Amino acid sequence: MKRGDVPELRGDNAGVVAVEAGARHDGFLERLRPAVRERGGSVVIFGMYSGVSADSILKRGLADFCVVGEAEAALPGLAERLISGGGGAFPPGVKWLEPDGGIGFSGPSAAVNTDDMPFLPLPVLTDGRYRKNSFPISIGRPLKWGFALGNRGCRFACRFCTAMTRQSLRKEYRLCSPERLFEEMKYQVERGGRTIISVEDDLFTGDREWTLRFCELLEKSGWATPWIMQTRFDCLDEEVLAALKRAGCAGMTCGMESGSDRVLEALGKRETVETIRRTGKLINKYGFATRYTTMIGSPGETEADARMTAALVRELNPTVVQMSFCTPYADTELAKEAGLRSGGRRFEDPAAGICALSADRLKRMRLKFYAKHYFSLSYLRGHAAGAAKYLIENPRAAAGQNAAFASFVARQALKTAGLRFVSRSAE
C-alpha cells in the first residue's frame, strides 16, 4: 500500500475509522469516507484540524463526526456508541452534520488528565516514524526519541495562540503526578531503548513547585537519560534551571516571539524583553541546548522592531532559532478581537495587512536574518562543534535536515529574487 492509499477494508462492517488528519489530508479523506460508508462504518476525525475546522470538514462531507477538544475524552465513548449501534446522546466534544444541513454539537468535552491515560504503546516509538528534527542535539550517541506528555493546558492566553500549533489553547492548566511522568519516561528508556525523551507539554514548568518536585524525583533516582521540554522564559528562574540541569534536562524550546516590548504587548505575550534577556542568559549559564521561536510581521511591527528581534537572538545565541510570520488563524484572539485574517495562509507565508511591511519585504528580511545568524562568527564559535558531533552521531538524520534547510533557503532566495524582479519591473 502506498502512502495516502485508502486501506483495504474487509467484511461488512468497517466499524469506526478514527483518523488524526490535517488539511493536507483532504484528498485522502474524500476517498476514505465512501469506502468506509459502503461497509456501514463511520469516519471520525480528531486532532487540531478537526478542532479548528470541524464545521467545514463536515459540510464538505469528509467525515461523519469530528472530535473537538481533547480526543482522549470523547473518542472512547463515541466509538462505543457507534459500534454498539445504541441510541442516546453523543459524549461531549463531538460535532456532526444534521439532516437539515446544520451542525450538531454535543457540548464542550471534559478535560483529561495525563494520569488517566495509558502509556504510549512502544511500537509507535520504535518503528522510527517519530523524530524531533527541530531539535538537533548531540548526546554522545545516536538519538532515539521517546515522547511523553505530563502537564496539559496553559495558564496564559497569547493573542496569536492557535489550536493549529498548540494543543493547549484555552485549556485549563492541569498538572500530572510527577511519578506518572517519571514512570513513563523510565518505561520508554528501559523497555523501548529510547536514548532521549521529549516531554511535549506546551508549558512544562508552568507550576514552579511541581517542577522542583519532578526534578528532585529524577535526581534522587540517579536518572541519566537526557530529556528536553518546552516552556516560557518567565516560567524559569535560577533555582528551577539548576534543578532541571541536575535532573538531566538537556535542552528546551522557548517562545521568544520578539525583541520589542511594543510587539510583545500587541501579541498579548505578557512578558518583557528584559525577562527574556535575563532568563536567556541564565539558560546559557547552565549550558542547555536551546531552540527559540520568533515571529515577524506582527501587528504594528516595523523594521526597527524586527531588527530588535534579530539583535536579541544574536545576544542569546540559541542552538536553533525559528522565525515565522505572524499568522492570525481564525481561532486566535488576533483574528477575533483585531479582525485580522490569515487569508488561508500558514505561518510560512506572510498574510497581508497585519503590519505595514509587505509580504515581499518580510520574506527578504527573514532570509537575511537566517543567513546572517547561521553564518555569523558568534554562532559558529558557539555551536559548530556541537553541530559536528550531532552529524557524526546521527549522519542520516543530519544529512536529511541539512538538505531540507538548504533547499528551503534556496527556494526562499529564488522566490524572493523573483518577487524583487517583478516589483522592480513594475516600478
Q: Which residues bind ligand SF4 (CB under 6 A)?
A: 154, 156-158, 161, 166, 168, 202-203, 232, 255
DSSP assignment letter at 174: B
Pick 189 or 266: Cβ nearer ligand SF4:
266
The minimum distance between CB 272 and ligand SF4, in angstroms, equals 15
Nearer to ligand SF4 by Cβ, of 44 and 158: the residue is 158
Helix or strand holding residue 309 (H, E): helix 303-316
User: Pairing relation of β-strands 94-97 and 65-67?
Assistant: antiparallel
d(CA 339, CA 374): 36
Q: How far is the CB of 221 from ligand SF4 (least distance, A)?
A: 29
CB 231 within 8 Å of CB 269:
no
Task: State in angstroms the smallest separation of the CB of 331 from ligand SF4.
Answer: 11
Nearer to ligand SF4, 154 or 181 (CB): 154
Q: How many CB atoms lie within 10 A of CB 4?
A: 10
Q: Least distance (Å) from ligand SF4 to the CB of residue 293?
A: 9
Give backbone dihedrals phi and psi of 257, rounded to 5 degrees, phi first.
65, -65
CB 324 within 8 A of CB 293: yes
SS3 content of the chain, % helix, strand, coil (to 5): 45, 15, 40
Q: CB-wise, 44 or 199, nearer to ligand SF4?
A: 199
CB of 406 to ligand SF4, least distance (A): 29
The smaller minimum CB distance to ligand SF4, of residues 157 and 392, is found at 157
Three cell numbers at 287? 549550558
Residue with Cβ nearer ligand SF4 (112 or 391): 112
Helix count and strand count (H, E) for the chain? 14, 11
Q: Which of 137, 116, 77 is nearest to 290 (CA)?
A: 137
Closest distance to ligand SF4 from the beta carbon of 205 (Å): 11
